[in-house]
Amino acid sequence: MTIRDDVTIQKDSLSLKTVQLETTLGPAELSWNGEKLARFAWLPKRAKRKSGLVAADLTDTQRDLIQDVVDYAAGIRIDFAKVPTDLSHGTPFQQKIWEACQRIPYGEVVTYGELARLAGRPGAARAVGTAMSQNRIPLIIPCHRVISAGNKIGGFTSPQGISLKKRLLDLEAGSPTDFKMPQKSNFGKMPK
């Protein structure tokens, strides 16, 4: 992959390698701690661009993930379940929730309560909501696929808020114009 002109790379004070790029969903930023993705953010449309490193400072794995993010935003089905992530900022409970969330299939949704049950904490739906709000790697840990009970959209922490969550769910449902809730997932369902 060739790094395009709209990709900017820099190293920040925490020794993270940070990349900014444009996607059809808006500007995004990825930061790696070594080979593990530590942060992903959808940026405000008018975010100040950073400058710094050259494309040669990226590994093949990092270049591939950048391309996958661009492709995902363009409507190509991408599975981010195996992307190595740095979850060290979270509690053990949050890490378990994020790991379970990362396995929710493309185009499917689960409720906060279902995700709590999958993580072995039935009844902890509110704590799951808190974990989702602390997720530093949305899209890769697809918190947009977690909804409220009763098929309600729930919250979403990003500069674009709920409107971006709806766009991501629409993209995955293949309906880019009118919001339609994706199918409820059978992911992790326990047999009765």
Q: Active-site positions?
A: 143
Give 53's DSSP letter: B
With residues binned 3-state (H G I as helix, E B as strand, rest as coil), the percentages for the chain, rounded to 5, are: 30, 20, 50
Alpha carbon separation from 90 to 18, 67, 130 (Å, rounded): 20, 27, 11
- CA-based R_g, the chain, Å: 17
Residues 6+ away with beta carbon under 8 Å from 150? none
